[in-house]
Amino acid sequence: MGLDSCADSSGNANLQIVLLTIHNVERLLARPDAWLGDNLDGSRPGTNEAGHPASDPAYPMIRDMLGFGSSGGKMLPELLNVPRRRQADGPLRPAGQVLITKYTENLYDPSNGVFDTEPGAASAPAKPAESAAEWNGGCHYYFWLGATARTTLGEAVVLGGLRGEMAAKMADNKGAQGAVEVSDFVCGAMFGSEAFKARSKFPPLPGAAVWVLQKPEFEINDPNTNDFVSGNTGSTPTSHWQIDEKGLTFQSKKDGFHLEAVWNQPPPRIRQGDTFVLRIEVTAEGPRKVQASLSPAGPISEWDVEPLEHAGVTQPGPNALLLTLPNGPDNSAKTTATLAANITLSGAGGTVNLATGEGSGARRKVTVNTLFLQVNINNYAKLYWTYLKEGAKPGSF
């Protein structure tokens, strides 16, 4: 699975990235306390908790584990029949949220978990703080941590890590657990060393096409024609607006209307089946209607766009989302709303039929090498994110 998730379009995969990816997944599953946060929503850190923001590449996986949206295929709570909230109970307890937030730790339970029991893990003391599931989970991710450390940082770092980790466990009165987990760290380092020696002998995997994010493009509404033209700055005698890769600002001296929109960046490389989160936060103040939309452009069937937050969001068309703020002629108060979506590259590019212009109904099949996502902020400006299939020429369809 690690090799599959990291293979490029030619079927090759970087061993260190594969091992790091496996470790990261094991760590997220085995230690939910490290990312849940005090509010248990996976994004808002609390006291002594790490949390993960939407910009973290692991964020879609965390939301998947919490039942908030698929990171590709069925969500983990669905596969494991974990109880989920049927109705929303406030903004921090949305419908679909798992009711047992730390259920992933139970995947390592030697009595009924899905992961193998590592040597020594079954002898964990019968204490909640040092359960067999916690020991076993630690053993699993320590194995992959050792493999990653050995192949990436070398033998000296592995030896230093052994001493440091044992000292930390002893200081935390977890010497017995540390001895078991560190032994798996050593085994992982040995595995990583042998895998690194033999890495050139691995046959290429049949990898899916890789799509590479290009430089964003912008269009501005021309107030003279009401058409969109290439550019990132627009103005009238009383208004000025500007868009870039991070957001948009609009200011009017006529009625004091002010609009700001910010968004995160999509991943630089994706493959078929990959899912990522886009969040567009819009703040408006003044007596004007405000809308923001997110949609694919071009072959829209290649994408699946699923809303993560439903307040003020409608779906005006296939894979299209529209956010409407409560501002208007009767409401000039400052308001903020968010358009958030899980976006999955569901297609593989394929072909489409295009008119040839050589006679009535004449069409030809064209291979899809370019995919687009479009953001439109109140018809003031548009942003286009373009993904080009790796190896294709820029400008090809």
Residues 55 and 180 in one domain: yes
* 289 within 8 A of 327, measured Cβ to Cβ: yes
* Residue ending a domain, choose from 152, 178, 201: 201
Please say which residue of 201, 232, 254 terminates a domain.
Answer: 201
Distance, in Å, from the CA atom of 120 to the CA atom of 148, rounded to the nearest integer, reads 22
pLDDT score of 354: 42
Q: Which domain holds residue 33?
A: 2-201
pLDDT of residue 76: 87
- Residue owning tokens 């090799």: 3
Per-residue pLDDT of the chain (397 residues; tens, 9 = 90+): 777 677 665 667 788 888 888 888 898 898 887 776 544 444 444 544 456 666 677 777 887 888 877 766 678 888 888 888 887 777 667 778 888 878 888 898 888 888 888 877 766 665 544 578 888 888 898 888 888 888 888 888 778 877 777 777 777 777 777 788 888 888 888 988 888 888 777 766 655 678 889 999 999 999 889 999 999 999 999 999 999 999 999 999 999 999 999 998 888 888 777 788 888 999 999 999 999 999 987 677 788 888 887 788 999 887 899 999 988 878 788 999 999 888 888 765 555 444 444 444 444 455 678 888 999 999 999 999 999 888 887 655 5
Residue 44 Cα distances to 40, 53, 63, 190, 333, angstroms: 8, 7, 12, 38, 27
Transcribe 267-335 into DSSP letters. Answer: PSEEETT-EEEEEEEEEEESSS--EEEEEEESSGGGEEEEES--TTEEEEETTEEEEE-S-BTTB-S-E
Q: Which of 117, 136, 142, 150 is nearest to 23 (CA)?
A: 142
- Residue 243: what pLDDT? 96
User: What pLDDT does residue 53 have?
Assistant: 65
The pair of structure tokens assigned to 393 is 């020429």
- Position 249 scores a pLDDT of 96
Is 66 within 8 Å of 102 (Cβ atoms)? no
Query: Does residue 118 belong to any structural domain of this protein?
Result: yes
Size of the chain in residues: 397
CATH code, 332? 2.60.40
Total number of domains in the chain: 2
**268 — phi, psi (to 5°)?**
-70, -25
Decide which of 201, 234, 256 is a domain's last residue: 201
